[in-house]
Amino acid sequence: MRVPLVTAVRGPILMITLGLLFVADRFDAAGFDRTWPVLIIVFGILKLLERLALRRQGLGAGGV
Amino acid sequence: MTNGEDRPREEAAHAAGADSQTGGAGGAERPAGYCRVCGKPLSESQVRRRHGVIYCEAHVPAPAPLPRSEWDTLPQATAGTSPGLAFVLGLIPGVGAIYNGQYAKGLIHVVIFGLIISILEAGAGGLEPLFGMLLATWVFYMAFEAYHTAKRRQAGLPVDEFSSLIPLKEGAGSVAGPLVLIGLGIFFLLLTLDVIDLYQVVRFWPVLLIVLGVWMLVSRRQPGREERGGAS
Amino acid sequence: MRRGSLVGPFVLILVGVVLLLNNFKPELSLLHLFFNYWPFLLVGWGAVRLIEILVSAARAQPLPRDGITTGEWVLAVLLCLFASGADFARSQLPKARITMHGLQLFGETFDYPLAGSVEAGPAPRVFIENLRGNVRVAGGEGSEVKVEGRATVRAFAKDDADKVNAKCPLEVVREGDQIIVRTNQERAGGDWSVSADLEISVPKGASVTARGRYGDFDIANLDGNVEIASDNAGVRITGVGGDARIQLERSDIIRIVSLKGKVEIKGRGEDIELEDISGRVTVKGAYSGGLSMRRLAGPLVFESRRSELRVAGIPGVLHLDLGDLTAENVQGPLYFKSSSRDVELTAFTGPVEIQLERGDVQLRPAGKDPQIQATVRSGDIVLILPEGADGGVEATTQRGEVVNEFGEELATEDLGQKGARLFGPPGKPVRIRLSTRRGDITVRKTVAAPEQGSPKRLQTTSV
């Protein structure tokens, strides 16, 4: 299985998001205790793109 | 000379064998038996018997293991892996995973445990009972997960860092999972940014049941790749 | 073989070098830089890794499945916890000695005495700047401003401590009609841990303005005004003739007793205790403990994210905390709006308006002419009226019961799907309106002997 770009890039993108959330927290724009769900959203989007990319590669599997 | 050729082949072989092997049976004495593997003639004292078959000292197979009795416990495939111990250690946040060698997972377990406690400490907006039960559930989840991971390791199955009791399959497949995740994230974000109020929303919880039912209906009416549209 | 990224180990080395250098040369403020800009480290880490992967993709090389390996995530999470924990710890640790601002976890503390004084007039304006440390100000006889105290420097060696202390002299000077008391701790530079505790005596007529970052303020016995601004302080003020203005990012306690002017409190904190205040009190912010007010002559205005409270006067006592508003002997007009709290008001006069999303309400007005409007989305309302109260009652609940324990002057009506209603006496203008969407409404009579008889026993004849 060729690793799609989305999968490889998932880690760094999450890390950048985490960093930006903490920047916002550090400079009192929006506290991390309020912004943390953004991480879940970004993770979900990346996972979604990954599923779509793998579909295009022609693989199928069940599972949540 | 034709004399040698007339001797029966066996005797010639034995003679040849007796000559070429050291410690053979000797010349005039009649051997008590011949080794099944190498054919060496053996005196009575050199005979080794297994299951009614004669072998020489060099070729006798090891004694067969005694038939296992029900009272014996199975030996551990991986030494030092005790699922029972894993369960007990798993009750302590993180320690279960560490016992199984999954250090990153242990850290995550600890962080989640801490988060639940922090939420309880900060008053959970009146939902203390929910988070209290979540805490108890999480503690047992950690313990059971450690137990099952230890069992897999014991059976020699490979276990990766983030093995989990919840199956998270890679690969394509339904986009439902990620969509649920995104939806959940947006929901929490709206909550934490005070766009919606928890009390307003909590009233709608039966919608989840409805959605679940609809999803089950839809997925049953469509024949899947592996399923055939069978009985509902 | 998987080629790992270089970034992870690089971050680890960087953090180690920064911390090491900080132990030797704190004046470089490396730690300060680190604690201010650490999230950018995460962003940079992710960005570099992202570029590495994009480059791999462009070169058609096989891509890793783990953009960030497990070990790297562990490091990143630990970094987040450590850095944001340090921020958190900075404000939560006891203020006495340890300050996490400079990560001076080791070393010794060296103390240096401080003293200074200057002639002032009878009513000077005293300006105090002490970044870290506790300050006590007392008004007294005499006309000079006198400062005594102790500076504390944390260092590995006495020489270093001496040098730092020399950079931060105590200044007690007069500039016009202002007296300036300054400990100059910012001159230490970098992340040196310097703090100073001061005892200052001032002429009784003085006004005091104090600025700090970390440390308590204790002010007593002044005729003038008090103004305090700090990032993290506990404040105690007693016996002040003028106004008090307090602005704190964080505090554990603000306690003001016996003040003749106005009080204005802004910011965030835990508890506020006010007693015997003659002027208007305004509190704006978020206080996670509670407000405790006693004998406030003037109006109280309280505004937070969750609620709003206005009271004309508090001759008695009022408590407001995360779950309840309780008050006894308060003067209306009183207006309270909140999301989720229980309310119990006893012996109040004047008009009262209460709006709650959730909460139980119990009202026991004093006086003969209560004016009440209580609207609750979810919660019970109990009204305890004195016998012979003027004014009519109109109470409705959409889901719940109405209970009339008051007497025959009031009547109940069942509205079927729409709930129930309690009202009366007929002919009287309605002065009390109670409404809840989910909950019971009970109206009771106050009787002289509390535990007596069944609700409908008394024949009321009053007007």
Q: Which of B214-228, C147-161, C231-245, C314-328 has the lowest mean pLDDT?
A: B214-228
Q: How confident is the model at residue C163 (pLDDT cuts 50, 70, 90)?
A: confident
More confident residue, C47 or C389: C47
Chain B, residues 180-199, CB within 8 A of chain A, namely 180-189, 191-193
Q: Are residues B118 and B154 in the same domain?
A: yes
C354 found inside a domain: no
Closest approach of chain C CAs to the CA of A12, in angstroms? Answer: 4
Q: What pTM was estimated for this model as a whole?
A: 0.58
Tokens 């994009």, located at residue: C54
Q: Are residues C128 and C150 in the same domain?
A: yes
Cα–Cα distance measured from residue B47 to residue B41, given in angstroms and rounded to the nearest whole number:
9
Is the minimum CB–CB distance between A3 and chain B shorter than 8 Å?
A: no
Core vs surface per residue C15-30: b (16+ CB within 10 A) or e: beebeeebeeebeebb
pLDDT on residue B106: 85
Instruction: Quote ipTM for the complex.
Output: 0.84
Q: Are residues B161 and B189 in the same domain?
A: no
Nearest to B107 among C77, C340, C357 (CB): C77
pLDDT on residue C228: 96
B22 found inside a domain: yes
Q: Above 50 in pLDDT, residue C451?
A: no
3-state secondary structure of C21: helix
Domain endpoint, select from C92, C117, C139? C92
Is the minimum CB–CB distance between C82 and chain A shorter than 8 Å?
A: no
- Check CB contact under 8 Å for B103 and C74: yes
Q: Are residues B157 and B178 in the same domain?
A: no
C355 found inside a domain: no
Q: State how many domains chain C has.
A: 4
Among residues C421, C390, C386, C429, the alpha carbon closest in space to that of C404 is found at C421
Cα–Cα distance measured from residue B110 to residue B97, given in angstroms and rounded to the nearest whole number:
10
B232 found inside a domain: no
Q: Are residues C240 and C229 in the same domain?
A: no
B60 found inside a domain: no
3-state secondary structure of A54: helix
Block mean pLDDT (10 aa), chain B, length 232? 46 43 52 85 83 81 60 49 86 88 82 84 69 89 89 74 55 68 85 72 80 82 52 40
**Domain coverage including residue C75:** 7-92
Cα–Cα distance measured from residue C331 to residue C318, given in angstroms and rounded to the nearest whole number:
11
C274 found inside a domain: yes
User: C interface mutation test: which of A7, A18, A49 has the most C CBs within 10 A?
Assistant: A18
Q: Which chains does C contact via 3+ CB–CB distances below 8 A?
A: A, B
Q: Are residues C119 and C221 in the same domain?
A: yes
C34 found inside a domain: yes
C383 found inside a domain: yes
Among residues C442, C430, C455, the alpha carbon closest in space to that of C381 is found at C442
Q: How confident is the model at residue C149 (pLDDT cuts 50, 70, 90)?
A: very high
- Check CB contact under 8 Å for B189 and A38: yes
Closest approach of chain B CAs to the CA of C423, in angstroms? Answer: 30
Chain C, residues 7-26, CB within 8 A of chain A, namely none
- Check CB contact under 8 Å for A7 and C63: yes
For chain A, which residues make up each domain, given as ranges?
Answer: 5-56
Q: State how many domains chain B has.
A: 3
> Any idea what DSSP says for residue C214?
B
Q: Are residues C11 and C78 in the same domain?
A: yes
Beta bridge partners of C372: C352, C432
| Tens digits of residue pLDDT in C167-214 | 889 999 998 889 999 998 888 876 678 899 999 999 999 999 999 998
Closest approach of chain A CAs to the CA of B98, in angstroms? Answer: 23
- Check CB contact under 8 Å for B192 and A35: yes
Q: Taking CA atoms, what residue in B is nearest to C359?
A: B126
Q: Are residues C52 and C83 in the same domain?
A: yes
Q: Is the distance from CB of C446 to CB of C384 less than 8 angstroms?
A: yes
**Domain coverage including residue B143:** 80-168
Q: Are residues C199 and C257 in the same domain?
A: no
